[in-house]
Amino acid sequence: MTQPKDHDFMQAALEEAKKAFAFGEVPVGAVLVCEDAIVARGHNQREGQHDPTAHAELLVIQQAAETLQSWRLIGTTLYVTLEPCLMCAGAILQARIPRLVFGTFDPKAGACGSLFTVHQDSRLNHQINVTHGIEEPSCRNILKEFFQQLRQNQPLPMS
């Protein structure tokens, strides 16, 4: 179920995705919100950090835990432009984030509706309330443009 500021916060996540694009990273952005305020923001940095775990979601979770001084991110909402993968969905569960909002599905790696439904597995001690499709065309199109440029061997922006 959508909430009044979902579109605004997803726009902030899209701004992060644009930063990733500018650095030649897969353009995924995320923000974590607590009490209607963004407490952490980030984007994919796998290429720049040479780290396969440097997904936007994980970087935001780490930043938020530091900011809020707790690994339990109860009362927060994570906004991410692309459906989280299995690794990120696991981290969201471990951080006890109760709500996830994502823009577009990831049919090749998504773990919150596409390939897996980790977020609602009753065998786990925590489930995640998921809302999807917020700003979906914009979230899908930035990824589509990025991969079209890769396929056409066009130089990607790098800093």
Catalytic residues: 57
Quote the distance between the C-alpha of residue 74 and its chain's center. Answer: 17
Of 45, 124, 132, which Cα lies nearest the Cα of 90?
124
* Cα–Cα distance for residue pair 55/47, rounded to 1 Å: 10
Coil, strand or helix at 8: helix
How would you write 76-136 as a 3-class SS string?
EEEEEEECCCHHHHHHHHHCCCCEEEEEECCCCCCCECCCCEHHHCCCCCCCCEEEECCCH
Find tokens 């950090």 and name the residue: 49
- Strand, helix or coil at 3? coil
User: Residue positions in the annotated binding site for Zn(2+)?
Assistant: 55, 85, 88
